[in-house]
Amino acid sequence: MSEVFNFSAGPAVLPAPVLEQAQQELRDWQGSGMSVMEMSHRGSHFMSIAGQAEADLRTLLSVPDDYRVLFLQGGATSQFAMVPMNLLRGRQSADYINTGAWSKKAIAEAGRYCTVNVAATAEASGFTDIPARDTWQTDAGAAYLHYTPNETIGGVEFDWIPDTGDVPLVADMSSTILSRPLDVSRFGLIYAGAQKNIGPAGLTVVIVRDGLLGDMLDGAPTMYNYRLHADAGSMLNTPPTFGWYLAGLVFRWLLGLGGLASIEVINRRKAGRLYEAIDASDFYHSPVAPGCRSLMNVPFTLADSSLDGDFLTVAEAAGLLNLKGHRSVGGMRASIYNAMPEAGVAALVDFMREFERTRG
């Protein structure tokens, strides 16, 4: 294996010790004679794997007892419909904050089920900033308020949790969950596709306050009903067992590092180093306002965009992979999730300096 650093926005790099363990026990999980993939989801082996994963996630996030943790399928895109279907509870409208590409997708899908009140939008800034809380036009009768704490494409991240009073707060945490400690009690519902900070694609984690569940939009498919999943322990049908197991290994790895306070220190160090290199140079530029730069997804541009292709080619040859920005915004993007080692960021910064020296 040639050493590479994979800056993909997702599916993304996984912790090396997790992949090592998964490889070691791929054909025989702890002497069972079976791969985890071959186990009945209702058998004692998998039930212990599943239960431990949930317990470890609860420990990491200090999930309060009145919240349910669900291991589902379908990605955040399925949640865009599941959230209104489950949380409207007879109300006609919901508040949404528009901070970029993923906010917009959530808004579009919700608009099929209710009146969406866009309480604030970052459109005027080209989605490079976050509207201050005191500018939000919220609706006290909203069923919930939805926002995207980290925009994976735009690289815009909230470093604060909005206060929404009695209106349940709903967050698409796909690209920021587990990157730092979180006060779950501030939220009504949190969801996250696994393929950034949790595990492989095909698993979606939902954390929801139990009291919000029970009502359901007429005509919603049975598989979109959180209450039924919660009551069935996420085994309403066969869950994505291997993804659930890998998520459990990731949770264990995080606990071994000291939990979310420890990973936050590392994440701030990684992001700080990269933003510092960008800001110290006229050759590179960060489009995002300093107060809301993502710790996880770092977009940057070259002052001379005609060098973009060259940058990517030389970076790839140096083992720095998937640095191309999303097709909708161009430029570069370095996704530096929990599993990206500090050495990867150091290698990227060194490469950027050297590229500037030879091409600048």
Catalytic residues: 102, 172, 196
**Smallest distance, Å, CB 331 to a second copy?**
17
Distance CA(133)–CA(75), nearest Å, equals 28
Rounded CA gap, 308 and 322, in Å? Answer: 13
**Nearer to a second copy by C-beta: 161 or 314?**
314
163 burial type by CB count under 10 A (0-12 exposed, 13-18 middle, 19+ buried): exposed
Residue 76 carries which side chain, given as an amino acid letter? Answer: A
Please, what is the minimum distance in Å from the beta carbon of residue 86 to a second copy? 12
Closest distance to a second copy from the beta carbon of 348 (Å): 15
Cβ-count burial 172-181 (b if 16+ within 10 Å, e if not): bbbbbbbbbe
Q: Using CA atoms, how far apart are residues 335 and 10, in angstroms rounded to an integer?
A: 8
Closest CA to 178 of 256, 250, 80: 250
Closer residue to a second copy, CB minimum distance, 236 or 307? 236
Nearer residue to a second copy within complex by CB, 162 or 199:
199
Residue 162 or 299 with smaller CB distance to a second copy = 299
How near is the Cβ of 278 to a second copy at its closest, in Å? 23
C-alpha span between 195 and 6 (Å, rounded):
13
Give the C-alpha separation, 233 to 211, whole Å. 16
Total residues found in the chain within this entry? 360
* Least distance CB 4 / a second copy (angstroms): 4
Contact 320, 328 (CB under 8 A): no
Q: Which is nearer to a second copy, 277 or 332 (CB)?
A: 332
The residues of the shown chain that bind a second copy, judged by CB under 8 A, are 1-4, 6, 8-14, 16, 19-20, 22-23, 26-28, 31-35, 37-41, 43, 73-78, 80-82, 85, 109, 112-113, 193, 195, 199-203, 219-224, 236-243, 246, 319, 321-322
